[in-house]
Amino acid sequence: MNKSELVDYIADKVSADVPKTVVSEILDLAFQGITGSLSEGGDFRWTGFGTLKVTRREATEGRNPRTGETIKIPATNRVKFTPGKELKEAVNS
């Protein structure tokens, strides 16, 4: 499912008076809020669905597969998703 399919799904489930453009704007605002929280070091929890949180991946050394040369892989922040109980059950049923 992509964004436009999600907008269509929500617009169909909500009152017929809500245009798809409004649904799309609401989704954009929701994701802006989630992104803002994560970028400030917070997390996002949706009970039953799951949790998004930022984890730190430390710098490591790797190898260039072509040359075998050792390279430094810089430290980065990553977003980790942990599924909630209801999502796990829905996927595994």
* Buried b / exposed e along 45-71 (16+ C-beta atoms within 10 A): eeeeebebbbeeeeeeeeeeeeeeeee
pLDDT score, position 50: 96
pTM: 0.75
* Chain centre distance of CA 58: 21
Same domain, 92 and 52: yes
Q: pLDDT of 26-83, one tens digit each?
A: 999 999 999 999 999 899 999 999 999 999 999 999 999 999 999 999 999 999 999 9
Task: Give bridge partners of residue 51 from the DSSP assignment.
Answer: 45, 82
Question: What whole-number distance in Å separates Cα of residue 56 and Cα of residue 38?
Answer: 12
Same domain, 21 and 35: yes
pLDDT score, position 64: 92
CATH number of domain containing 73: 4.10.520.10
Domain containing 68 equals: 44-93
